[in-house]
Structure 1
Amino acid sequence: MSGSIARWTALVNPTAGRGRVQRLLPELRAAFDRLPLDIEIVVTTSAADACDRARECFADGGGVVGVGGDGTVRDLADVAVTARGTLAIVPLGSGNDFARHLGFDHRDPLRALDALVDGKPISVDLGLARAADGTSRRFTTVANTGFDAEANRWANTVSWTSGATLYLLAVLRTVATYRPRPVRVVVDGHQWEGRVWLVAVGNARCYGGGMHITPEAELDDGLLDVCVIGDIGVVEFVANFPKVYRGTHTSHHAVTMLRGARVEIAAVDGSDKSPPAELWASGERVGLLPAVIETEAAALRVVVPATRP
């Protein structure tokens, strides 16, 4: 791997992982220094700064190492696709769901640096989500609307905890007020309609720090996996929700799994007075429904561990 790209730029998000990166920065620098590679380490000041520096690196023919969480990786992946560059990852965020699917051990994130020496570049799919106003966002993991979108919105306002603990707290808070809403889901022309707790469209298997919402999703099949959780009571929803961490929720009678290259989601006029439904993708708000989510097959060139099949 080291011979294919002459120079790397490691773009470090110091705020990732609720301060985890900042604490590990000395150890991270030492780990990079031990590699037999030409690597420049840059601590970025913002997401825009990281993207600008990534563009410069790719324009010079170099590779980019994204050091941070799913948000950092999402932003840099978008730049990498446009520039046709190669992205490597050091998963130091609070969720690291995309890195998990790629085969990285989120519990020992610095081992990801080994992939720069003996790993391999592969091409993987990304998702492209477009909201009602035309706003579009590429995403690496899952696009979602409904209960989990509201939980995601609240979780983004919290700084005192992270990862699976944060998302569980967000779930408990949201379930007290959220109720299923009527939506229409069309996957490659096939329609499903009904009241839902959530609709999740997975490019990857996980979101929310290890929740296997679309457990059979693959990053190289050119398809999106869709999980629809229909209208069940609050108690039944809460009792079964933990199954999502193992991916066993798919056998529940209220869960419908779909698969396709194009997914359309629209709110259906109902009698409730709920605010307009939002679409989120890889932890970022895209906009209001109706929305269209499509796959970009083999769009991203990314470095994975040598042990990945």
Structure 2
Amino acid sequence: MTTTSTRATLLVCPASGKGRAARVAGSVAAALREVVDHLDLRVADSADGTARLAREAVADGVDVLVVLGGDGAAHLGVQACAGTSTALAVVPAGTGNDLATALGAVSADDVVAALRAGARRPLDLGRVAGGPWFATVLCAGFDSAVNERANAMRWPSGPRRYDLAILAELAALRARPLVVETEDRVVELDALLVAVGNTTSYGGGIPVCPDASPADGLLDLTVVTASPRRTLLRMLPTLRTGRHVDHPAVRTFRARSVRLSGPPWVAYADGERLREVPLGEAPLEVECVPGALTAVGAPR
């Protein structure tokens, strides 16, 4: 029985989760029809198709865009919904599902329950100057190299893929000079990685910015400074618990905006490779935009 007056679009990314999204699309649509007045079902055949269908749904004025897919699909949903009245919901069906987890959506049942309860909240977003929005974490350096490797791997799936990519990238690891500028400080250091978090986690649940909140108007920065490989190997297990921030080699900051310059690193945001020039050819400027997105669920 319909309990809310809601018009929604379910955007299915069938390739997500090695076809999992396609397999569950029918049951997800049936569950959503119990809690919305009208549901349009759209199936994307590519990333470009996902972006186009998301934009079209928002332009059509739907109340909620429900994305059935992984973090890549969710990232495209963010681009369409940011700064509009359309709320975004994410049904997890990918490898990492970090945004869905941040929204309290472990399954389709969580999204259905949130829609039934009318649980919508404003969510802060990060924005790259001249580039995209991001909802979770922007990273550069060692962690972006891990992303590059993990995205190219066919096996294994899930968080284990990132663990193996981390070990593989340690062999080529070297620190580079980085300048971090915020509204109240300029810090120069030799760094291995920098992560800018709107939410806590990336890579399938790694809490790289464990204290980040998507509702405080601030970005959390985690910088790992130059360290021997043996030190990093001892630190790696603490990444899964968030205790890495207690290590002397780790610096943390909190800021409304940040400017990063120095090494020729490629940056990733929401697990997606930024198309802009690599850090080092031009500074990377990022700001937090409070309440830029309306999200279905209870952000953690």
TM-score, normalisation: structure 2: 0.91
Aligned residues, how many? Answer: 293
Moved more, 278-287 or 46-55: 46-55
Residue aligning to 1:64: 65
Amino acid at match of 2:71: D
The separation in 1 between residues aligned to 2:266 and 2:36, in whole angstroms, is 46
The separation in 2 between residues aligned to 1:199 and 1:2, in whole angstroms, is 45
The separation in 1 between residues aligned to 2:65 and 2:237, in whole angstroms, is 36
Amino acid at match of 1:9: T
Residue aligning to 2:116: 117
Q: Does 1:295 align with 2:296?
A: no
Residue aligning to 1:102: 103
Instruction: Say whether the 8 Å CA contact 1:188–1:261 is kept in structure 2.
Output: yes
Partner-residue secondary structure (3-state), 1:257: strand
Q: Say which of 132, 136, 140 aligns to 2:135.
A: 140
Partner-residue secondary structure (3-state), 1:218: coil
Instruction: Say whether the 8 Å CA contact 1:151–1:170 is kept in structure 2.
Output: yes
Amino acid at match of 1:154: R
Q: Say which of 262, 267, 280 aligns to 2:268.
A: 280
The separation in 2 between residues aligned to 1:140 and 1:163, in whole angstroms, is 20
How far the C-alpha of 1:200 sits from its partner, in A, is 0.3
Residue aligning to 1:88: 89
Alignment of 1:212-227 (within 5 A): 212-227=207-222
How far the C-alpha of 1:302 sits from its partner, in A, is 1.0
Partner-residue secondary structure (3-state), 1:176: helix
Q: Does 1:54 align with 2:42?
A: no
The separation in 2 between residues aligned to 1:175 and 1:136, in whole angstroms, is 29
CA RMSD of aligned residues (A): 2.0
Instruction: Say whether the 8 Å CA contact 1:90–1:113 is kept in structure 2.
Output: no
Q: Does 1:170 align with 2:172?
A: no
How far the C-alpha of 1:112 sits from its partner, in A, is 2.4
How far the C-alpha of 1:140 sits from its partner, in A, is 0.8
How far the C-alpha of 1:146 sits from its partner, in A, is 0.6
How far the C-alpha of 1:163 sits from its partner, in A, is 2.3
How far the C-alpha of 1:32 sits from its partner, in A, is 3.6
Partner-residue secondary structure (3-state), 1:205: coil
Residue aligning to 2:9: 9
Amino acid at match of 1:104: A
Q: Does 1:252 align with 2:247?
A: yes
Residue aligning to 1:273: none
Instruction: Say whether the 8 Å CA contact 2:103–2:295 is kept in structure 1.
Output: no
Instruction: Say whether the 8 Å CA contact 1:18–1:162 is kept in structure 2.
Output: no
Distance 1:2 1:216, change over 3 A: farther
How far the C-alpha of 1:29 sits from its partner, in A, is 4.0
Instruction: Say whether the 8 Å CA contact 1:183–1:266 is kept in structure 2.
Output: yes
Moved more, 31-40 or 56-65: 31-40
How far the C-alpha of 1:257 sits from its partner, in A, is 0.7
How far the C-alpha of 1:36 sits from its partner, in A, is 5.5
The separation in 1 between residues aligned to 2:148 and 2:102, in whole angstroms, is 24
Instruction: Say whether the 8 Å CA contact 1:77–1:87 is kept in structure 2.
Output: yes
Instruction: Say whether the 8 Å CA contact 2:81–2:293 is kept in structure 1.
Output: yes
Partner-residue secondary structure (3-state), 1:67: strand
Distance 1:46 1:246, change over 3 A: same
Instruction: Say whether the 8 Å CA contact 2:10–2:29 is kept in structure 1.
Output: no
The separation in 2 between residues aligned to 1:22 and 1:158, in whole angstroms, is 22
The separation in 2 between residues aligned to 1:184 and 1:165, in whole angstroms, is 32
Amino acid at match of 1:296: V
How far the C-alpha of 1:117 sits from its partner, in A, is 1.7
The separation in 2 between residues aligned to 1:141 and 1:164, in whole angstroms, is 16
Moved more, 144-153 or 82-91: 82-91
Residue aligning to 2:225: 230
C-alpha offsets along residues 191-236 of structure 1, whole Å, 9 cap, x if unaligned?
Answer: 2211111100001100000000111111111100000111111011
How far the C-alpha of 1:2 sits from its partner, in A, is 5.1
The separation in 2 between residues aligned to 1:185 and 1:201, in whole angstroms, is 11
Amino acid at match of 2:123: V
How far the C-alpha of 1:58 sits from its partner, in A, is 2.3
The separation in 1 between residues aligned to 2:3 and 2:287, in whole angstroms, is 33
Partner-residue secondary structure (3-state), 1:75: helix
Residue aligning to 1:241: 236
TM-score, normalisation: structure 1: 0.88
